[in-house]
Structure 1
Amino acid sequence: MDSIINRLRSLDAYPKINEDFYSRTLSGGLITLVSSIVMLLLFISELILYLHAVTETKLVVDTSRGETLRINFDVTFPALPCSILSLDAMDISGEQHLDVRHDIIKKRIDAHGNVIEERQDGIGAPKIENPLQRHGGRLEHNETYCGSCYGAEASDDDCCNSCEEVREAYRKKGWALSNPDMIDQCKREGFLQRIKEEEGEGCNIYGFLEVNKVAGNFHFAPGKSFQQSNVHVHDLLAFQKDSFNISHKINRLTFGDYFPGVVNPLDGVQWTQETPSGMYQYFIKVVPTVYTDVSGHTIQSNQFSVTEHFRSAEAGRLQSLPGVFFFYDLSPIKVTFTEEHVSFLHFLTSVCAIVGGVFTVSGILDSFIYHGQRAIKKKMEIGKFS
C-alpha cells in the first residue's frame, strides 16, 4: 500500500513547498491586492458581455428576387410652394410613377417654418358655378357637368371637370399647359391665383414610396411631369417663373424599416441654393440588410451610402431641370446582423483565462521584485553600496 502511495506522489505535477520556506512580503501583498482588483473588474466585464447579446455580422450574396423597396422620406423646401411641387419615381425596368399623390402629405409653411395648412396633394376641388361644358355651352340646371379637355381627350366620352384633370389629360398627351387662364376649369378654380397666394411660402412633403427593388430614381421638382419624345420633362410654363429655389432640408430618408444601430447619413442634411437655378443630385448605394434580434425576430431593411453633386444651369449649355434628384442603386452583397448570447462554456473559459493570466503575470512580477530586492540587499551587506 505504501509503495502505491509513493508512486502516486511521484506523479504529482504540482509539488508543494514546505510552509517553513514561505516568505510573505509587502510588495507581494500589494501585487496580490492589485491583481485581485484587476481580476474582479475583468470578471465583471466578462459577466456583462455574457448577460447581454452580442451582434455577429456576415456578408452574403443577395439572391432575393421580385421584392419591393420602401422609401420613407420627409423633406422640407423653404422656398418652393406646395402647389407647384411634384414627386416622380422611375426605375431601369421602365416603370414610372409620375406626379405621385398616394401616401403623400404636404404641409404649407411660412417663411418662419410655421405650418399654415396640411393636406393631401392637389390644388383642391372645383367650385362648379355655371361652368363651361365640353360642347361649348354653359351648364344648365338639369344637365350633368362634363368639362372640356381642350383637345386632350382620349375618347369622345372623356370629361375634364377640374383644372387638375385637364393638366392630367395634357400630361398623358405629352403636352405642356402654357396658359392656365385660357382653361375654364383652371380660371374658375383660381389656379394662378392660388399659386400667387402661396408665393414666398415653403413646403414640407413626407410619406413613402413602394418601388421595384432595382436601380432607379425619385425626384422632387416644380411642375407636372410628362413624357415628350421619350424624354422626361416638367411643365414649368404654367407657373410663369424663370427660376426656382430648390433649397431643401432632408429631415428623414430611409430605405426600409428602422433597426437597432442603423445610421442614415442624409438625416438632417440641409442645402441652400446660391445660383438662380440648377439640379441637386444625390447618388445613393443601397445595401440590403437583415437584422435578427436575440428572440429570433427578423427585420428586412437597408443601409446606404451617398455622394452629392450640384449641376447648375450654365449659359451655353442645355438647361438642367430644377429639382432634387435621388439616384439609387442596389448592392449585390447583403449584410446580416444576428444578435445572440455567448454560451456558458465560452464564459467559463474566458473567466479561467482571466484568472490564470492575471495570476501568472502577477507571479512573474512578484518574483522579479522579490529577487531584485534580495540581490540589492546582498550587495549592500558586502559593502558594495555605501
Structure 2
Amino acid sequence: MVSTTKIKSVDFYRKIPRDLTEASLSGAGLSIIAALAMVFLFGMELSTYLAVTTNTSVIVDNSSDGDFLRIDFNVSFPSLSCEFASVDVSNVLGTKRLNLTKTIKKVPIDPYLRATGAEVHSTSGLHLINHGDEDHGNNTYAAIPLTGATFDKFSHHFQILVVNFYAPWCYWSNRLKPSWEKAAEITRQRYNPETDGRVLLGSVDCTEETTLCKRNHIQGYPSIRIFRKGSDLKEDHGHHEHESYHGDRDTESILKMVEELLKPIKKEDHKLALDGKTDNVVSGIKKAPVSGGCRIVGYVRAKKVPAEIIISAHSGAHSFDASQMNMSHYVSHLTFGKMISERLLTDMKRLMPYLGLSHDRLNSKWFVNEGQFAANVTIEHYLQVVKTEVVSRRFGQEHSVIEEYEYTAHSSVAHGYYYPVAKFRFDLSPMQVLISENPKSFSHFITNVCAIIGGVFTVAGILDSIFQNTLRLVKKIELGKNI
C-alpha cells in the first residue's frame, strides 16, 4: 500500500504551523480590501452572466401563422353613433368585406368615452325596406312640424309621439315623405289629437332644427324615433328615453306600428298599462341611442397583402350630412398578430428591452378634428408592419419565445367630397427581424469566478509581501544609521 507520507508529498497547499505565523495590522487591512474587491467583482460577473445578449438579423418572413393576419383593435368615436358605425376590410386583391359583425362589438359612449348602454347590434336588411309608392309631388310634410320650442310640449302631452327626423335634400327622406304624410293623416282621423290624445305623428326638419336633432343624436336621415310618456321619463333635463323604428316605410307598415304601440294604452285614462312595460314586441323597433358616440372593439382577419380597415357611418336606407360628421377618435390599442399568452409574460419582461418597442405606436392616442375645418375630414393612418421573432436558447434547447408584429405609424387628415371615414392602411414587409438570444454557459461563469478569487488573493499576497519587505528594508536602513 502507498504510505500516507507519500500521499502527503503531493499536497499543493502545505500548511505552516499557526505558531510560526504572525498577523499584522497592514495584512488585516489588505485582507478586508481584497475581500471587498472579490465581492464587487463577483457581483459584476454575476450581472454579466444573467444579462441577455442578442444577435439581430433580417431574414425572409417564415411566419407560422399562415396567410392571414389577426388585427385586434379598440377605437372610440365620440361623434359616431353605434346605429350606423360600420367596419369594412378591403385589400389590393379586390377582396372586400363590408359591415363586419361577428367579431366586432359596438358599445355606445358619451363624449367622455364612458359607456352609456349595452352592446348595440347592427340593423340588418335596411336595403330591403319597403318604401311603398314613390310620390314626386311637393316636399311639404303633412305631419305636424315640430320645433325646439314645441317638441317638449308635444312629447309630454301625448302618450306616444312618433317623430320623423328628416332632411329635405335627402333621397331616403323624400322616398318616405308620401307614406309618412298619408300615415299621419290616417292617424289623425283614427285617433283625434284633441279627443283621443294618445298618439301623434310629427316631423322635424334637421336643416332648420339642428340643436333639436343633435340633442336626440340624429346622424342619419330619415330617423324615426318613438317617444313614450310615462315611467320612462329620465331625470336628466326631463328627456324621454326613446326607441328607433327600422321597419318598412310604406303607409301600411307605419300604421301597423302605431296600432301595436297603442295596444297597451287605455283610451279612457291615457295611462300606460303595467307602468309602461308590455310583452308586446313591435316589429322593427329598437332602443334608440342615448348618446352619440361608439366604442368599437374586436378583431378582423386579413390576408397578408396591403389592405385597409375602414370605420365609417353606413346604411342602406339613410343619408348622412358629411359637413356634420366628425370622425375624431381615440385608439386604446391596435395590435397585429396573435395575442401574447400569460405564460410568456416572464420572458417578455426579460426580453422586452431588446425588442423594437414600436408595436403600440397608436396605442392610447387621440386623433381629433378641430376648428373650422373639422367637418368632412377623413383621418388616415399609414402603418408599416414587420414581424419580429425572438428565439431563446436555454438549457441547450432553442425555441421561439415571442412572435409579434411591430409597426410604425404615420397619420394625416384629408378633406374629400365623400363621407368622412377613419382609415387604417397597413402594408406588411416580406422580411422579418430575427432576434436570437445568446446565453452564457455556466462553466464559463464558474471559471471567471475562480479566476476572480484566485487573482485577487494572489495580487493581495504580492502587495502584502512587497509592503512587508519594504518595511524590513526601511528598518534595516534606520538600524544601520543608528549604529
Normalising by structure 2, what TM-score?
A: 0.51
Aligned mates of 2:368, 2:131 — CA distance in 1: 46
Note the C-alpha offset of 1:247: 1.9
Equivalent position amino acid for 1:82 in 2: C
What is the aligned partner in structure 2 of residue 109 from structure 1?
109
Question: 1:303-318 maps to which residues of 2 (within 5 A)?
Answer: 303-313=405-415, 318=416
C-alpha displacement of 1:254: 0.8
Partner of 1:223: 314
- The separation in 1 between residues aligned to 2:84 and 2:290, in whole angstroms, is 10
TM-score between both structures, scaled by the size of structure 1: 0.61
1:103-132 superposed Cα distances (whole Å, 9 cap, x missing partner): 000000123433222335413688xxxx95
Q: Structure 1 counterpart of 2:293, which letter?
A: G
1:115 alignment partner, SS class:
coil
Inter-partner Cα distance in structure 1 for 2:436 and 2:314: 46
Q: Distance in 1 between matches of 2:294 and 2:59?
A: 40
1:143-292 counterparts in 2 under 5 A?
A: 178-182=170-174, 192-193=223-224, 198=289, 201-223=292-314, 238-256=319-337, 257-258=339-340, 260=348, 261=352, 263=357, 264-275=360-371, 276-277=374-375, 278-291=377-390
SS in 1 for 2:425: strand
**Structure 1 residues 296-320: Cα deviation after superposition (integer angstroms, max 9, x where no partner):** 764673232323332242xxxx547
Alpha-carbon distance in structure 2 between the residues aligned to 1:332 and 1:132: 49
TM-align CA RMSD? 4.9
> Secondary structure of 1:79's match?
coil
**Counterpart-to-counterpart distance in 2, 1:360 and 1:320:** 83
User: In the alignment, does 2:323 pair up with 1:325?
Assistant: no
Higher Rg of the two aligned structures: 2
CA distance in 2, matches of 1:299, 1:118: 38
Does 2:447 align with 1:336?
no
Which residues of structure 1 form unaligned runs of 5+?
A: 1-8, 137-176, 225-234
Map of 1:162 onto structure 2: none
Separation in structure 1 between the aligned mates of residue 425 and residue 472 of structure 2, nearest angstrom: 75
C-alpha change, 1:15 and 1:103, in structure 2 (3 Å) is closer
Question: Residue 245 of structure 1 aligns to which amino acid in structure 2?
Answer: N
Equivalent positions of 1:344-383 (< 5 A) are 344-356=442-454, 358-359=456-457, 370=467
Q: Map Cα deviations across residues 134-183 of structure 1 (whole Å, 9 max, x no partner).
A: 899xxxxxxxxxxxxxxxxxxxxxxxxxxxxxxxxxxxxxxxx9533356
Number of residue equivalences? 311
Contact 2:83 2:120 in 1 (8 A): no
**CA 1:327–1:354 in structure 2 vs 1: closer, same or farther (change >3 Å)?**
farther
State the one-letter code of the partner of 1:30: G
Give the share of equivalent positions with the same residue, in percent.
27
Q: Distance in 2 between matches of 1:107 and 1:376?
A: 91
Q: Distance in 2 between matches of 1:133 and 1:319?
A: 28
| 1:234-259 deviations in Å (ceiling 9; x for gaps) | x9970235132222111111101226
Task: Give the gaps of 5 or more residues in structure 2.
Answer: 1-8, 135-168, 184-220, 226-243, 246-287
Match of 1:36, as an amino acid? A
Aligned to 1:97: 97
Deviation at 1:327, TM superposition (A): 1.9
Cα distance in 1, alignment partners of residues 379 and 460 from structure 2: 63
